[in-house]
Structure 1
């Protein structure tokens, strides 16, 4: 059984997007299910709901700190257009306020930078359980 997942990585720092992509690829390779992952990238929160539609995105990793807008505002836009979309918030700031605001806004998870591969694997497995019964 092969599963295709379209993943959108939203972070204003290219290096952070690449680290997250590499960590996700490592987790995917270690998973027992054959997964074909396609990655899409954005450095801003601009037009994210449209990018989700255009690229048929299944899973979003969204930084809280973005230029010109907050990742929390982008999350609210995503929830307005795609209420069932799996969105994991990413931040270098793991304050209780950030985590609480993300969860209240509809985030399905929260990952703190620097990335922990165990936490990334958890978010990927949660997605697979919810949408692919794996």
Structure 2
């Protein structure tokens, strides 16, 4: 292979890597703008008491997702509390965040408590409200 071919490939590789870096920066900026606008729109919809609306062939609706994780520095204590109270099947070296969130959600529905008393402050939770979009 001639040096000119190698140089052409090197130049092309550099160009592609630079394009990729630029696209990643654009993607990061778009993600930040989307997150900010999503929060603003969900707040505005909540304030206007709108849980959904249709516009330009899409339905915009409020959705809520629960996130749960061990409280800072309390992971081992939380896992032991789950085991001690008959939910050891949730514990596999770590507790999957989605599984824990589902469990907390089920417990809320069953008991009306935000977090079961026996888990105490070993778990921290928050809910994220965002806007979903689907074609009408």
**TM-score bracket, shorter-length normalisation:** under 0.3
Q: What TM-score does the superposition give when structure 1 sets the normalisation length?
A: 0.21
- Structure with higher strand content: 1
- Structure with higher helix content: 2
Higher relative contact order structure (alpha carbons within 8 Å, sequence separation ≥ 6): 2
